Amino acid sequence: AFGDRSLSQGLSVLVGLALCVTMLGLGCAVELGQLGQQLRRPVGLLLALLGQFVAMPLLAFLLALIFALDEVAAVAVLLCGCCPGGNLSNLMSVLVDGDMNLSIIMTASSTLLALFLMPLCLWIYSRHWINTALVQLLPLGAVSLTLGSTLLPIGLGVLIRYRHPRAADLLVKISLWSLLVTLVILFILTGTMLGPDLLAHIPASVYAIAVLMPLAGYALGYGLATVFKMPPHCRRTVSLETGCQNVQLCTAILKLTFPPELIGSMYMFPLLYALFQSAEAGLFVLVYKVYGRDGYKQDTLGEEEDTDISYKKLKEEEVGDTSYGTVTAEEHNSVQMEPTQTAL
C-alpha cells in the first residue's frame, strides 16, 4: 500500500502545495525594518542557531539511540529534528503574550540557515547508520534542492509585505489555516486508506519519541533563554520556537526525496510529531492562561505605574526649575525680577 503510485503522487502534490503556502505566509510575516534591527542585535539569530541546529538534532539523535530505532525510523526522526522552526510557534507565541518580533525572526532565520545546516546535521548524525542502504541513499542534494525551493515563496512574501501590507496580513492568516487543514486532510487520507498498515508498521517506540521530542524541545528552549537571561515573555517565545518544527517541510522531504517503498510508513512521523507538538503547545497555553496570566498583568501594571511616577517627578522638576529667575539692578536703585526658564 505504501508503494501505491497514485496515492504517493497525490500526497506529494498536497504536501508540496502546503509547503509553498506556508513559506509564503512566513515571508509575509517578515518586515524589513524589524529584520534590520534583529541583525544589529542578532540574539534571535543566535537562539535559532543553537535551538534548531544544535539542541534539536542532538536530541533526535539521542532518542533514536535510546529507543534503538532501525535506520528508516531513525532517518525520519533525525530529519524532523534537523528541520527549522514552524509557523505553529508564531501562533502559539501570540496566545502566551510572547515576543512576536523575536518569534518571526527566529522562524525566518532558522529557515534560511537550514539551507546549509540541515544537510550538514543530517550527514553528521546519520553516521551511526552509515552501513544501511537507506542512509547510503540519503539524498542530501535533493534535501538542499527542496530547501532552496522554499526561498522563492519566502522572498515573494517579503516583497508582498513591503508593497501591500494588508494583503500580507491576509496571506499570513491563510497560511496558518492551510497548515491546520493540510494536517487534517493528511490524517484522514492516510488513516482511511492505510489505517491497518500504519498501525502494523509504526512501532510503539516511534509514538513515544513523537510525544517526548517536542516536550523536551520546549524545555530545552526555555532553558536556553534562561541562560541568556531573557525576560519571561521571551523565554516562552524561545521555548515554543525550539519545540515546534516545520512538519510540512519534513513531510515534503520524506515524500519528494525518498522512494515510497523504502520510507514506507515513516513518512507519517512528522504528522505524529505535529499532532503531539500541537497538543503539548496547547497545554502550555492553557497553563499560562490559568496560572501565568495574572502575573503577566501585574508585571505590566507595575511597569505602567513606574512610568507614571517617573513622569510626575519629571513634571515637578520642570515646575521647580521655572520658579527661579535672575536679579537685575536698574536706575533709581530699583530692583526687578526677570524670570528665566532653565532648559532641561
What's residue 308's pLDDT? Answer: 38
**Given a cut of 80, is residue 301 above it in pLDDT?**
no
**Given a cut of 60, is residue 295 above it in pLDDT?**
no
Cα gap 99→236, rounded to integer Å: 8
The stretch 210-236 carries a mean pLDDT of 92
Question: Is 243 in contact with 281 (CB distance < 8 Å)?
Answer: yes
Nearest to 266 by CA among 210, 188, 184, 189: 210
In a domain, 320, yes or no: no
Q: How far is CA 253 from the centre of its chain?
A: 19
Question: Is 61 in contact with 125 (CB distance < 8 Å)?
Answer: yes
Query: Per DSSP, what are the bridge partners of residue 337?
Result: 327
Where is pLDDT greater, at 191 or 259? Answer: 259
The stretch 281-298 carries a mean pLDDT of 75
In a domain, 315, yes or no: no
Where is pLDDT greater, at 283 or 16? Answer: 283
Highest mean pLDDT among 183-192, 201-210, 266-275: 201-210
DSSP 85: B
Cα gap 62→78, rounded to integer Å: 10
What's the one-letter identity of residue 315? K
280 phi and psi angles, rounded to 5 deg: -70, -35
Q: Where are the alpha helices (DSSP H) in the chain?
A: 5-28, 32-40, 43-50, 56-66, 71-81, 88-95, 100-125, 133-136, 140-149, 151-163, 165-201, 204-227, 232-243, 247-257, 260-263, 269-287, 293-321
Any idea which residue has 517503498 for its cell? 261
In a domain, 334, yes or no: no
| Helix axis angle, 140-149 to 247-257, nearest 10° | 130
322 phi and psi angles, rounded to 5 deg: -85, -5
Highest mean pLDDT among 98-102, 109-113, 129-133, 279-283: 279-283
In a domain, 42, yes or no: yes
What's residue 325's pLDDT? Answer: 45
In a domain, 344, yes or no: no
Where is pLDDT greater, at 161 or 62? Answer: 62
> Could you tell me the residue range of the domain that residue 272 belongs to?
10-290
**Given a cut of 50, is residue 298 above it in pLDDT?**
no
pTM over 0.75: no
For 314, the grid coordinates are 519629571
Where is pLDDT greater, at 69 or 315? Answer: 69
For 223, the grid coordinates are 532553558
Average per-residue pLDDT in the chain? 75
What's residue 136's pLDDT? Answer: 56
* Neighbouring residues of 200: CB distance < 8 A, sequence distance ≥ 6: none
Count the domains in the chain. 1
What's residue 224's pLDDT? Answer: 92
Cα gap 290→287, rounded to integer Å: 5
Q: Where are the alpha helices (DSSP H) in 100-201?
A: 100-125, 133-136, 140-149, 151-163, 165-201
Cα gap 335→41, rounded to integer Å: 59
In a domain, 59, yes or no: yes
Taken in order 67, 71, 73, 77, is the CA torsion positive or negative? positive
In a domain, 314, yes or no: no
Burial, 23: exposed, middle or buried (Cβ in 10 Å; 0-12, 13-18, 19+)? buried
**Given a cut of 50, is residue 190 above it in pLDDT?**
yes
- In tens, the pLDDT along 47-58 reads 888 999 999 999
In a domain, 26, yes or no: yes
- In tens, the pLDDT along 317-342 reads 444 444 434 444 444 444 454 454 44
Q: How confident is the model at residue 218 (pLDDT cuts 50, 70, 90)?
A: very high
What's residue 142's pLDDT? Answer: 61
- In tens, the pLDDT along 96-118 reads 888 877 888 888 888 888 888 88
What's residue 196's pLDDT? Answer: 60
Between the alpha carbon of residue 79 and those of residues 61, 118, 140, 275, 283, the distances in Å are 10, 8, 11, 17, 25
The stretch 166-189 carries a mean pLDDT of 77
Question: Is 79 in contact with 61 (CB distance < 8 Å)?
Answer: no
Q: What is the CATH number of the domain that holds 41?
A: 1.20.1530.20
Neighbours of 30 (CB within 10 A): 22
Question: Is 103 in contact with 240 (CB distance < 8 Å)?
Answer: yes
What's residue 331's pLDDT? Answer: 46
